Amino acid sequence: MTSRHIPCRAVLFDCDGVLVDSTGPAEDAWRQWAIEHGLDPEVVLDGMHGVRSQDTVAKYLPEDQRAAGNARIEEIEVSGAEGTVPIAGIPALLAGLPENWAVVTSATLPLLRARLAAAGLPLPSVVVTAELVGAGKPDPEGYLLAARRLGVPIGECVVVEDSAAGIQAGLAAGAGHVLGVGKEEHLDLAHSAVPDLTGVSWDGAGLRVG
């Protein structure tokens, strides 16, 4: 198979679905949360991927109950993070990267730490979590902030995403390339896509996709 080169100076990763597979633990957590709040779990699950927990909570709870609702889903998700595993190919890719990568996630910092630890993955020096942005994905704020903190123009960054909201955020930010991960139809929105990160590596001047 012929490999291709995606030039960049930095790589900005989403977490869930890109670095780690947390689908089972996350859906179990939201299912429990929905039942506790008298909501249809399947309706809640349908819209929770790729967006901040606080934005999901705000869709279903009145304003005076949102703080407690946010605290509760955080508690359930962090306590259930042990079922999280790395996405295929990501340990090798991260091991080969210099200090030029960041994580931009809709999760909170405690949840990000818990999931990366459960998957045995490192926490980079630059992370942008839900607490640090005024608007979550598909707003580009998180990716723009990560690029600034790395000191690299966003046009020289590759964004790696799996959700429609995340891909839209990367495109809106003006990333040089948005690489989709997975097999969902919305990955057609990205510049290119791979089923997982097996065979993706750093070649010194960008990503090499095998």
> Which of 109, 171, 111 lies closest to 138, judged by CA?
171
As for how many domains the chain has, the answer is 2
Of the residues 32, 49, 82, the one at which a domain ends: 82
Query: pLDDT digits over 195-204, tens only?
Result: 999 999 999 9
Structure tokens at 75: 């508690």
Residue 26, judged by CB atoms within 10 A of its CB (0-12, 13-18, 19+), counts as buried
pLDDT at 35: 95
- What pTM value is reported for the model? 0.84
Residues 139 and 154 reside in one and the same domain: yes
Domain that holds residue 88: 4-22+84-209
Q: Are residues 54 and 124 in the same domain?
A: no
What CATH number has the domain bearing residue 97?
A: 3.40.50.1000
* One domain, residues 153 and 185: yes
pLDDT digit string (tens) for 43-96?
998 877 667 888 889 999 999 999 999 899 889 988 888 889 999 999 999 999
pLDDT confidence of residue 50: 67
The reply to whether 11 and 74 lie within a common domain is no
**Do residues 14 and 39 share a domain?**
no
Residues 70, 88, single domain; the answer is no
Q: Are residues 187 and 130 in the same domain?
A: yes
CB count, 10 Å around CB of 63? 7
State what percent of residues in the chain have pLDDT above 70: 99
Mean pLDDT across the stretch 153-167?
A: 96
Residues annotated as catalytic (active site), given as ranges: 14, 16
Considering the domain architecture, whether residues 191 and 114 belong to the same structural domain is answered as yes
- Residues linked to residue 178 through DSSP beta bridges, in sequence order: 159
10 and 69 assigned to the same domain = no
Query: Using an 8 Å Cβ cutoff, are 13 and 155 in contact?
Result: no
